[in-house]
Structure 1
């Protein structure tokens, strides 16, 4: 009889305590949230969004699919207890149309590869270029930051005592991230004597540029990219109307270098259409003319060259030629 009374009392106590139990809501998954605050100011970029790739710190294996945030300045990443490396890039894969990402299943094999054309736009320059198989007319700007050894412990898992709003979560860690530009700037200036002989801007090739970058180590490699462009910015010398400087700036993965020196020959091929309708092609090996520096935002490769065009006289009616490209005139101060 005493046992029955004891059991009944215990059941009554448990029932009462269950009605007044702690109002605790447990997390449905044992995850903590890492918030990355991303500072784009040093890279002078204003991306439309941010992509994050998460890898296991020890094995390098990807632990989830690419995470995308429409907010370029903040991304919250859910992580199970463990240690991780996180790669952050500007925009999304779709928005970086000229760059493909390969080997994303492991940090060690994660590469950015230029998505180039197999056929040249300016086929008349093909014989003058090196034996490359990829041609690029425009490259997107790529910036990245790699955050290493982010650790989530069971203590970082947050449990709510009141039911959280839908989508609400507590941030376990906040990390400041500053991406750096990985693409580089090619700054070309060519002084042209007898510029009055040219009917328009030259279609041009710059050969043997890098096609890939290892995103973990930020090392570029390869030399299979030929940049295709028009040297169309023209600034006439105020003291000599026959002398002009033609310029162009290109976004690129740059030349392959070691110990500050270019490893490959780089041909700058310029196809001028003269005022008499003739074609005049100039090909320069600019390997030793490339000067590399950093402007605080990106790596800059300056190419400075000089060419002289043959004297040519037009017939006064202008030149009809399908390959003529218009100049973008840059005003210069005239001498007083």
Structure 2
């Protein structure tokens, strides 16, 4: 009987432990950190690209994601800006949505899982600052916000943590300094810039041809036919020269923006053709936003 009593006690304890275990596995987790125990990354192909860090680059993944790298967007371990050729490694895993929905959060609708790294001389690089690298994620609908999940590899397991929510906004090149534009009254408009450039450059040309620097003023050259006694302070002329430089910078920005938009549209068409679910729309649907971190990350639809 004594042995039978011990067997019954052990049996009851095991049943109680099993019930508690079952209760815990079904209990919703409140922590934003979830663990994906399925090693899906072993089956995800690595895609290699080479870009020039000194110019704007757009690369397209095999499953439709695209990345935009603005000039000088990387730094090395010493925070020095990287120049020259950079190797980019990309992985796309849009086909693991079910496993991620299970392992990240039950009510999450995942757009995809991605891996991005940049190297120079076999050394990992970092993103310089915000809005220097952008991602365009194809999806069946246009969203207003997304959640960004950072993945950390720990003992052959990816631990996912909800880092932040991002507002979807179209990719754009950095604007010329707004402070400078306001100071000189410059409008980012092709016709307005052309007119301002003509007027400003004509004025400075007259100064160079008919005036000579004496002390801190520009005065008429003795050989000039005009007999005016007009003179300009050096500080004023220097400011006009700075205005001309700002106008030329703005004109260059407009030209580069036109080239960028054309290239982006071409890449978007290519990326949408690569997207497995592109039959949902004849027009490409991409959710664009800047990223601040590289490595493994997942994008999910913000659930309210």
* TM-score, length of structure 2 as denominator length: 0.23
Name the one with the larger strand percent: 1
Higher relative contact order, structure no. (Cα contacts within 8 Å, ≥ 6 residues apart): 2
**Counting helix residues as a fraction of each chain, which structure ranks higher?**
2
